[in-house]
Amino acid sequence: MFSKGLGLLTRIAPVAFALSTVALAGFAQGGDERVIDEFHPDNQPGPNGARAAVPDPVYGGRVIVHLSSMPENINYAIENSAVTRRMLYEVHESLLLQDWETFEYIPKLAESYDSEDMLVLKSSVAEGTYGAAVKMRVRDMAAEADDAMKEAFILYGMVTDSGDSYTVTPISRGSSLAEAITVPKDHVEAHEEGTVTTWTLRKDAEWHPYTHASGREIKGHMLDADDVLFSWNLYFNPKIDCDEKRFQFEKITRGEKVDEHTVRFFFSSQYFQVFSTIGTDMTILPSHVYNLDDPDNLDANKAATVDERAKYFNEHPANREFIGLGPYRVSEFTQQWIQAERFDGYFDPANSGYFDTIRWRSIDNDNTSYTALVNGELDFFARVKSEDYFGEATAKQNFTDLFYKGYFYLGTYGYTGWNMFQPQLKEKVVRQALAHAFDFEEFLATNYKGLARQITGPVIYDSPAYPHDLKPFAFDPDLAEEMLEDAGWYDRNGDDVIDKDGVELVIEFMMPSGNKASETLGQKMQESFGKIGIKLNIVQYEWATFLERFKARDFYGANLAWVANLESDPEQLWHSKWGQKEARGSNNSGVMEPELDRMIRAIQRETDFEKRQVIWRELHTFIYDLQPYLFGFNVPSKFAMSKRIRGFKTVALDPGYVLRDWYFTSLDEPGTRLTRER
């Protein structure tokens, strides 16, 4: 199925979950020992079970990686796609890196970071008694609305409970407190854990150079606090096209510059994704390029309006000619590929990868992509069709001489999202009947040879929160037909399509063009639903059109996949705020359920990992019963790779591998050498 990438969910060529890191040993695969070149034919176990030594690398050369869809740009702040995020792993960096195997957060652009608690003071005592208190917006705990805010005074630091009082001890640079103080509990309205984070930036991270429209080359800019604060502030311009991510950063209600390389952020209330929101989900962007208030911006215009600033940002050439902080810099963005070249100014050369050039080649048709692979136009293709993977295509000599195949699992799940604003799909009973009418077991056996797993909701299959005791809706077309008839859906005019209140149950199944898996699924749904009087029409659109219709809710059913990390904030997909017709977030089905909003709020505030998993199971079960999606399968990524490349190892985090670890082993490869230096 097609998918995009969410600290966030992202769509695969449709979306992704970004998850918080905690005691994640419970996630299957996460703690497994991965084998380098596990599937490579030259590294298979011998009679004694031992594998051959992996050859030493050479440096340089060019690798060509398949791209399932061409993004409009690669500014992840406004382009919420998995393909964009995967490219940014090589051309950019974030404040923190989530370790591919341990899931721990490792400082990257951040040199260090601190976390402190917050005491929200009662307004009656705050100003007169605590001169060091900071005035800011916090969540109104007395209000019913999840996003209700109020002005309040807060103290922050390491907070310890001393019985009748709290002791607040400052621990971060530039704290508002000079020393520890004691605060009586009757002066405190709320104690919010871990809501204040202070980040010290590394001083050797250099932005990629770029050429301004005037022809002037801009280079030598180093990362600083202004870049980080600007990157957060852009989410507060309502005209910037970032609704799919805005919800997360709006929880940060205050940001301040402590010094040139230190920033501090305040969350309105405690939140389980404090570190991932800033550390991995925030795309750090160059203020000297995008910020019209920055004196180093050649286009600076402090008098610009909100609309003008948004237009400048949304349409900036740097969204495509991306300016990052990674070991590779974008050198080409064409209709066919995006290419990045090694950047010699990268701050961590020992971890800068082996290749000199990475080309991401866009081919949106899976059949054409496979042909390009065997013709030598791709080195890696991770969307091999089941019929090719299990069939004769990958057994032919033109494949086996040059390539090998393998597979890996991610948290990805396929689904068909129903637009609940459409009269045909607004009733839960209709959506449940559709689930009863489709034979998932038969489809899995036919198309995935037992490798795919049916899922029952949005929690990823290998998560400790996944309720494996929740049984899928049974395949029972007779029951489905009975449910529909009881709800008033039956054929009144003899045309073999059921109807109600003058509306026929006709559904348009929208899919990205060229996606064979989506097409196969759609055809099977068309056949199954037709047997109970539901007409399904399959329509294909190229990716940009598909995505725009999806965001605008101009669809009935849309086939996609979510690329889920380990744990995600469920707000972007399921909260009522983002289900409104005018919202352009990720709640594209239009789910608006107060009980679901309550569970989302409980997950966000629960910092205890095990307790949070209990709430996740409740949410998963509630959503599966609601059926805003026809939940599909956790399908392995089946890949084909050139034998010339070594260093491949599967990991549990998207995209399932670390491109920076791959390398050639022969100096016969054009552009290779024995040392990293050129």
* Per-residue H/E/C for 274-314: HHHHHHHHCCCCCHHHHCCCCCCCCCCCCCCCHHHHHHHHH
What is the percent of the chain with per-residue pLDDT over 70, rounded to a whole number? 94
- pLDDT digit string, tens, across residues 559-595: 998 877 778 899 989 999 999 988 877 899 999 999 9
> Range(s) for CATH 3.10.105.10 in the chain?
413-634
Which tops the pLDDT comparison, 306 or 18? 306
Mean pLDDT, range 157-166, rounded to an integer: 95
- Determine the CATH number of domain 98-317: 3.90.76.10
Beta pairing, strands 629-631 & 413-418: antiparallel
CATH 3.40.190.10 domain span(s) along the chain: 55-92+326-410+659-673
Label residue 33 by pLDDT band (50, 70, 90): low
Question: Is the pLDDT assigned to residue 296 strictly greater than 80?
Answer: yes
- What is the C-alpha to C-alpha distance for residues 472 and 443, in angstroms, rounded to an integer? 14
Say how many residues make up the chain.
678
DSSP reduced 3-state for 537: strand
- Are the CB atoms for 120 and 189 separated by under 8 Å? yes
What integer pLDDT is reported at residue 670 of this predicted model?
97
Residue 544 CB neighbours (<10 A): 13
What tokens appear for 129 in the block? 């008694």
CA distances from 523 to 111, 475, 527, 536 (A): 53, 17, 6, 9
**Higher pLDDT residue, 96 or 547?**
96
DSSP notation for 14-56:
---B----SSGGGSTTTTS-PPTTTT-GGG---TTS--PPPPP
Q: pLDDT averaged over the chain?
A: 91
What is the pLDDT at residue 516?
A: 85
- Give the lowest-confidence range in 362-366, 369-373, 402-406: 362-366
From CA 21, how far away is CA 169, in angstroms rounded?
26
8 A C-beta contact, residue 559 and residue 635: no
Average pLDDT in the 27-45 region? 75
Report the Cα 136 to chain-centroid distance in Å.
Answer: 30
Residue type, 547: L
What DSSP character marks residue 155? E
Residue of 428, 412, 467, 454 lying closest to 618 (CA atoms): 467
pLDDT band (50, 70, 90) for residue 26: very low
Class of domain 413-634 (CATH, top level): alpha beta
What SS3 string covers 201-238? Answer: ECCCCECCCEECCCCCEECCCECCHHHHHHHHHHHHCC
pLDDT in tens, 226-248: 999 999 999 999 999 998 889 88
Distance CA 209, CA 322 (A): 10
- Residue 427: CA count within 13 A, CB half-sphere: 15
Q: What is the DSSP string of 558-618?
A: EEEEEEB-S---THHHH-GGGTSTT--SS-TT----HHHHHHHHHHHH---HHHHHHHHHH
pLDDT band at 538 (very low <50, low <70, confident <90, very high): very high
pLDDT tops 70 at residue 30 = no
Q: What is the C-alpha end-to-end distance of the chain, expressed in Å?
A: 41
Amino acid at 441: E
pLDDT-above-90 percentage for the chain? 78
Residue 24 confidence class, pLDDT cut points 50, 70, 90: very low
Q: What is the CATH number of domain 55-92+326-410+659-673?
A: 3.40.190.10
- Among candidates 372, 344, 348, which has minimal Cα distance to 359? 372
Question: Which residues make up the CATH 3.90.76.10 domain(s) of the chain?
Answer: 98-317
